[in-house]
Amino acid sequence: MTVVNSGMEPNGAMAKEKVLVVDDDEDILELVRYNLAKEGYQVHCVPSGEQALKKAREDIPDLILLDLMLPGLDGLDVCRQLRNSPETSGIPIIMITAKGEDADIVSGLELGADDYVIKPFSPRVLLARIKKALRKTKPEEPDESSILRIHELLINPARHEVLVKDSPMVLTVSEFRILHFLARRPGWVFSRDQIITAVKGDDYPVTERSVDVQIVGLRKKLGSAGNYIETVRGVGYRFKEQP
């Protein structure tokens, strides 16, 4: 079973983050889907751990609501596999459990889950937990005009200047914007669509393939420093936190 909302909020604005809901109880799925969709979230529902892993890898969600008691692959195994995969390791996970036993909660948190709710739960409480978990994943907006020093790079937006080990680099406008965007948030993975939107704006007619081309050219110009820009297969790109 997969349920997806329209991707639009009631007022016509673009939908909020994508939430993957994993539970084998159809009543729970419908309850959660209804309340999240009403808040504008894009909701995807699956009834098993195997389907959850497949969906999470195919279409990276912003958050996962994960029932611990699932047929076949249980929630703890799903959590373990998600955390062990680079593509999905950073997704916030909120466990849903009917047990309410400390051992289950502790096991889930030790495997990397971010929070938990116990059945039966209030939709308002669940929404509050979701909002809290999503807030933690959002970096503070840095000052785009300030000089950025990271690893052996110096990036000066005001002068449109990049130095690598004090040597100036000649970059195109797009290459500079991509580098600056990624370097301001080291460790954060961004999709090609997110990079396009940040660099060119929502309505700029550019393809995802052009982002790959820009990255290739940028890495080449940066030389050894180009290795700081990492490809995250199936997701996009990130700037290394550590040299």
Question: 18-137 has which CATH code?
Answer: 3.40.50.2300
Cβ within 8 Å of residue 49, ≥6 positions away: 22, 70, 72, 73, 74, 75, 77, 78
Phi, psi torsion values for 144, nearest 5 degrees? -70, -15
Specify the pLDDT at position 168: 92
Architecture of domain 148-239: Orthogonal Bundle (1.10)
Could you tell me the residue ranges of all domains in the chain? 18-137, 148-239
Asked if 145 and 156 count as a contact pair (C-beta separation under 8 A), the reply is no
CA distance 63 to 32: 13
For the chain, how big is the Rg over CA atoms in Å? 20
* Domain 18-137 and domain 148-239 have a common topology: no
How confident is the chain (243 residues) per 10-residue block, as mean pLDDT?
A: 43 67 94 94 95 93 93 92 86 83 78 87 91 73 72 90 92 88 90 82 60 91 93 89 75
Q: What is the pTM of this model?
A: 0.56
Select from 11, 109, 15, 10 the least CA-distant residue to 62.
15
pLDDT of residue 3: 43
pLDDT at 100: 59
